[in-house]
């Protein structure tokens, strides 16, 4: 073998080794890029899932309030009925007394008080009914 053949075979072996090293480096770069893309995708998925989780937690909190709101609605309804009954009883007592001037004054005061209380209770009942409707809609969505 001549000296030039030895050098050429030696350099082709070196070139082949260098090519293999370059291929390995290229594969590592591609792998790193793929890892970064997957990591970005996972971060985006994580953000979307976090938003969904936040919405679900809010809905869950609202649904937990539903029994309390129903109980308060029932309590307000009982109070309203009790006030109506008491007003009717009081009016019956006042009629028995026979004192028209006193009866009218007490009746007016009572009606004003009753009207205010009735309006307050009706407003609260409407608000509670609306809140219950909203929460029941959330239940249907879930």
**How far apart are alpha carbons 132 and 116 in whole angstroms?**
24
pLDDT band at 48 (very low <50, low <70, confident <90, very high): very high
* pLDDT tens digit sequence for 53-62: 999 888 888 7
Do residues 53 and 102 make contact, with C-beta atoms less than 8 angstroms apart? no
**Picking from 4-18, 48-62, 87-101, which range would have the lowest pLDDT averaged per residue?**
4-18
Residue whose C-alpha is closest to residue 139's, from 52, 66, 84: 66
pLDDT, position 123: 92
pTM here?
A: 0.37
Residues contacting 118, CB < 8 A, separation 6+: 80, 83
Phi, psi of 15 (to 5 degrees): -60, -40
pLDDT band at 98 (very low <50, low <70, confident <90, very high): low
Mean of pLDDT values over 33-52: 93
Mean of pLDDT values over 71-77: 89
Mean of pLDDT values over 14-24: 87
pLDDT at 117 over 50: yes
pLDDT, position 7: 47
**What b-and-e string marks burial along 55-91, b requiring 16 or more CB atoms within 10 Å of the CB?**
eeeeeeeeeeebeebeeebeebeeebeeeeeebeeeb
pLDDT, position 70: 84
Structural domain for 10, as ranges: 3-141
Average pLDDT taken over every residue of the chain: 82
Mean of pLDDT values over 23-46: 91
The structural domain count of the chain equals: 1
pLDDT at 122 over 60: yes
């Amino acid at each position: 073998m001549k000296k030039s053949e030895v050098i050429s075979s030696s350099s082709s072996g070196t070139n082949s080794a260098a090519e293999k090293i370059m291929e390995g480096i290229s594969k590592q770069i591609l792998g790193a890029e793929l890892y970064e893309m997957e990591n970005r995708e996972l971060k985006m998925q994580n953000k979307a899932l976090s938003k969904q989780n936040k919405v679900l937690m809010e809905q869950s909190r609202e649904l937990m309030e539903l029994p309390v709101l129903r109980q308060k609605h029932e309590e307000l309804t009982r109070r309203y009925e009790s006030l109506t009954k008491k007003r009717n009883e009081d009016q019956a007592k006042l009629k028995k007394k026979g004192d028209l001037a006193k009866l009218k004054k007490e009746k007016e005061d009572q009606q004003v008080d009753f009207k205010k209380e009735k309006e307050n209770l009706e407003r609260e009942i409407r608000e509670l009914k609306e809140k219950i409707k909203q929460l029941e809609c959330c239940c249907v969505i879930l």
